[in-house]
Amino acid sequence: MNKPKVVFEERDFLVIDKPTGMVVNRADTVAAGITVQDWVETKNQKHQISSKSQDPSLKAFFDRSGIVHRLDKETSGLLLIAKNPQAFYNLQSQFKERKVEKKYLALVHGKIAPEEGEIKAPVGRLPWNRERFGVFPGGREAVTKYKLLSVFSIARSVSGQPVKPITEYSLLEVIPQTGRTHQIRVHLKYAGHPVVGDLFYAGRKTAREDRKFCPRLFLHAIFLRITHPTKGTILEFKSALPKDLQSVLDRLPDYFN
């Protein structure tokens, strides 16, 4: 497994580019493998200090090793990690107050319309499957904005002649306004445009077909804007689309012909 790449680092925090396949936080449900939390503690020995010897108000910082937010296992891209409690709680407050701007790239099924819009629907954990989330009245408020970047319209061909059906995919810039677990994936499924390669929400058959040309979930955190936790300056960070996902876009038309 690839290790995280440090995009930016200074006294108060660092920004990493998380590789796909790497779990962010340790949990009882996480099997073998190095998590981002393990990597942080190896990189920064002071995170290994037991939280039991700390002020109870600092418990969250030590329990999470300074990791401010999360990305799904297969989602790659920018992740923010605080190096001290002051920075951790400041940055967490920015997320709670919706002062942080995050952007993702997602390849989804179908041609989305309108080209720019907002998905607003409550998201919560499904009572009958605790590993899955969905849209239902008892969920928490969730808002996701999106912008269409490009459409891939592909016709299967026989002897060089296009035939139906035409398969379409949309490349989206996605901007979540809230931070619910699996929010982007659930909202895009709810809108009728599941993310390519999504084993949880695209449907088993669809996901299996997707994995023939896309090696994993096509979701990447490309942009992060925060306020510096101590200096008050605005900082922006960017991450290019990884090679595996860029290759999918480059080869997509050829795969179906």
Distance CA 198, CA 106 (A): 11
Containing structural domain, residue 41: 1-97
Same domain membership, residue 48 and residue 85: yes
Same domain membership, residue 2 and residue 49: yes
234 is a domain residue: no
The pLDDT-based confidence of 50 (bands split at 50, 70, 90) is: very low
Answer with the one of 49, 67, 97 that is the final residue of a domain.
97
The pLDDT-based confidence of 156 (bands split at 50, 70, 90) is: low
Answer with the one of 76, 97, 118 that is the final residue of a domain.
97
230 is a domain residue: no
> pLDDT (tens digit, 9 = 90+) per residue, 83-103?
999 999 999 999 999 999 999
Same domain membership, residue 106 and residue 22: no
Phi and psi of 41, rounded to 5°? -70, -35
Q: Which residues contact 171 (CB under 8 A, 6 or more apart)?
A: 105, 106, 107, 148, 149, 150, 151, 152, 249
Q: Which residues are catalytic?
A: 72
Same domain membership, residue 126 and residue 250: yes
Distance CA 184, CA 120 (A): 11
pLDDT of residue 164: 62
Distance CA 224, CA 23 (A): 20
Answer with the one of 47, 69, 97 that is the final residue of a domain.
97
Distance CA 91, CA 89 (A): 5
pLDDT of residue 48: 46
C-beta neighbour count of 112 within 10 angstroms: 22
Q: The tokens of 96 are what? A: 């709670």
> pLDDT (tens digit, 9 = 90+) per residue, 191-249?
999 999 999 999 999 999 999 999 999 999 999 999 999 999 999 999 999 999 999 99
Same domain membership, residue 201 and residue 166: yes
What is the count of structural domains for the chain?
Answer: 2
Same domain membership, residue 107 and residue 69: no
231 is a domain residue: no
From the list 202, 75, 206, 98, the residue with the least C-alpha distance to 145 is 98
